[in-house]
Amino acid sequence: MHTRVGFLKPLVTEPNIEIGDFTYYDDPDGPDKFAEKCVLHHYPFIGDRLIIGKFCAIAEGARFIMNGANHAMSGFSTYPFNIFGHGWEEGFDPETWSREIRGDTVVGNDVWIGMDAVIMPGVKIGHGAIV
């Protein structure tokens, strides 16, 4: 086996990322930075999960964009005033924002995710799909 390819299950330790057996990632820099390089805007306080099934092949440059990338669209602005403090967070209702979360991102078994593919928040990919 090449050093650029590795099974993800023993490498990924983030609690909201679940990886099935024998799913691998291919990256010239090695597979151990998968969560850091490929799972973007995944903040623990949001609670969304990335679930990837068994026997999946994930190519270099694949990106999973998680719900933390979304901006609330139900207020007077899409600007995230509340995250900057300075009193801007007053009146922020997390329940309103949580209604805009698209849910967990789920990849079925035996899925091939090709080079530079981008998977958006809350997407469900069926078994055997090619992206």
Residue 41 appears among annotated catalytic residues: no
Does a structural domain hold residue 18? yes
* Residue-level pLDDT at 68: 86
Does a structural domain hold residue 64? yes
* Residue-level pLDDT at 24: 98
Q: In Å, how far from its chain's centre is CA 1?
A: 26
Residue 91 neighbours by CB distance under 10 Å:
9
pLDDT in tens, the chain (131 residues): 568 999 999 999 999 999 999 999 999 999 999 999 999 999 888 889 999 999 999 999 999 999 988 877 777 777 777 677 777 667 666 666 556 688 999 999 999 999 999 999 999 999 999 99
Q: Provide the domain count of the chain.
A: 1
Which residues touch 74 (CB under 8 Å, ≥6 apart)? 96, 97, 99, 100
Which residues touch 46 (CB under 8 Å, ≥6 apart)? 66, 67, 68, 101
Catalytic residue among 2, 41, 42, 71: 71
Does a structural domain hold residue 131? no
* Residue-level pLDDT at 91: 67
Does a structural domain hold residue 120? yes
* Residue-level pLDDT at 1: 54
Does a structural domain hold residue 130? no
pTM assigned to the model: 0.84
* Residue-level pLDDT at 99: 60
Which residues touch 113 (CB under 8 Å, ≥6 apart)? 56, 57, 58, 59, 62, 107, 119, 131
CATH code: domain of residue 110:
2.160.10.10
Does a structural domain hold residue 74? yes
Q: Which domain holds residue 25?
A: 5-125
For residue 122, which phi and psi values (nearest 5 degrees)? 80, 5
